[in-house]
Structure 1
Amino acid sequence: MDEQEFTEWAVGRQRLLLRSAYLLTGDAHRAEDLVQEALTKVAMRWARLADGNPTAYALTIITRDNISWWRRRREVPGEATDAVARREEPEIAMVVHRALQRLTVAQRRVVVLRHFDDLTERETAEILGVSIGTVKSQNAAALARLRDGAPELLDLIGRTP
């Protein structure tokens, strides 16, 4: 394994992965744990992943590990933590968090991957292990829900109400 190459990749992607994990979970500590676990799994497979898309693999791990976590506890990600207030732009972070909480878990995953991580429908489908049609329908349902209940978020992701 080329340790330096992995380290450079990890340092360059850690913020993106942490943001995605936080948006999925609403919990800064769990997000950090998910990212740490994903980075460990990527490191163990770096020789195979280095020439591919290790970021997509890490996002897949984060998404699936989060699903497994709340399935084991039979709970859906909940309320905002104090970490929201410590972000660089607390008003925006609070708007985003409140808006995402209005979505189902499936809708939230699609919105985070499509609009915050800027992945294609195909990439999102591969990461989530669903069809492109499911991504499209979940995205449409989420945007409709946000249009009605959180138009301020649509402005942030570049959609018009």
Structure 2
Amino acid sequence: MNLRLGRVSKREHLLEVCIREMLPTEANKAAALESTIFGSDAWDVEVISACIVHPGFRFLGAALDDGKIVGHCCLAWVESGCEIVALGVLPAYRRDGIGRLMMREMVRLGRESGASRMSLNVRVDNCAAIDLYRSFGFEIAETVGDYYEDGESSYRMALSCASDIESVAVEDQVHPR
């Protein structure tokens, strides 16, 4: 199990966060988290279980030092490279740098695997997520109509792994607002 540690701000103090692989025994926890984060778009426990054990996926959790899982992400290897198929953080922990830590880990994994391209879909009205993805060099490639269960469109965003993202400021510590 790979572990990546980081520190993020949580209002007045810093949190230790560990980005690690989720275990098959944590599928129910991940499904509950998924439901809280994504509502009607949430994956069920069977889909999450399949992603956790499938060799073509990496399902990672963001764990606090007390073990509480406050976010997760999933990276899939596809013919065209890697696709970020899930990224979410509990509402109480958003905008504290946890999503940034998970993104950094997924981009690192994609690049290390030799992927030439990474992609993802994001709701067109999710400005915070779009800004995060752009900060890593992702660009909007197209709009996909009726992508989500509720009929909302998504932006398909892409990153060329050959592009230089080393200059992107990705810190282990995000300073309090």
The reply to whether TM is greater than 0.5 is no
- Structure with bigger helix share is 1
Provide the TM-score with structure 1 as the length reference.
0.31
Provide the TM-score with structure 2 as the length reference.
0.29
- Structure with bigger strand share is 2
